[in-house]
Amino acid sequence: MTRIDAKFAALKAENRKAFVAYVMAGDPDEAKSLEIVKALPGAGVDIIELGLPFTDPMADGPTIQLAGQRALDQHMTLDKTLGIARAFREEDETTPIVLMGYYNPIYSRGVDKFLVQAKEAGIDGLIIVDLPPEEDEELCIPAQKAGLNFIRLATPTTDDERLPKVLQNTSGFVYYVSITGITGAAEASGADVAPEVARIKSQTDLPIIVGFGVKTPEKAEEIAAIADGTVVGSAIVNKIAEGQSVEDIAAYVKTLADGAHRA
């Protein structure tokens, strides 16, 4: 059982929904990024998504793209990203960390070497947005054998024919993208999300976490009530971009987490 599996089991026992927060590793710099990550559990975050900066983030909107560029400008690397996870683990052994990004840096490192390093650093799961199910032998299967969850995205365009393929080797949870398009582009609609979550739940026992377009405590509560939890990324990254203090960022995150936990 991974930390992700254990977290969802604990939340289910408490009849609580999950709140997942995304931040870009190295944004605005390595030191402050680590401070922000360390502050997230105290702000009510159940699972941390740690973005891996990449030069061509095709699935991301301007907010996340700019966060990645800020990190790259600060010379953020895969090794330094794993270093943030490793430093976090010195103080927190229980909060799951999902590394989210693109396959190129992992491919360049070498899958076997990367998986050993990720596991050693305390990474619990991977979301690699540009690896479709047809490429499961590349990373998904090796990651699961190494004890990491491989979390897949489902979207409004994932039809009934495609969905079983998406789900077949997914573990940890399913990340449902609530809108068609890039991150930060629009607001999620509970009316649109509810039938899609029900459709996915009919095909899997995995928790369904909904992200994209969640920006307020009220929306976090609305979406979490429909699913098993919600993800907020761009709205948090905007606060980082504004230069807010770690304390102010954590206070904002807590309002979102409290919203999700009210669901």
**Active-site positions?**
49, 60
Q: Is the distance from CB of 179 to CB of 185 less than 8 angstroms?
A: yes
Gap between the Cα atoms of 148 and 151, Å rounded: 9
Which bin fits 71, alpha (ψ -120 to 50), beta or left (φ > 0)?
A: alpha
Half-sphere exposure of 28 (CA within 13 A, CB side): 11
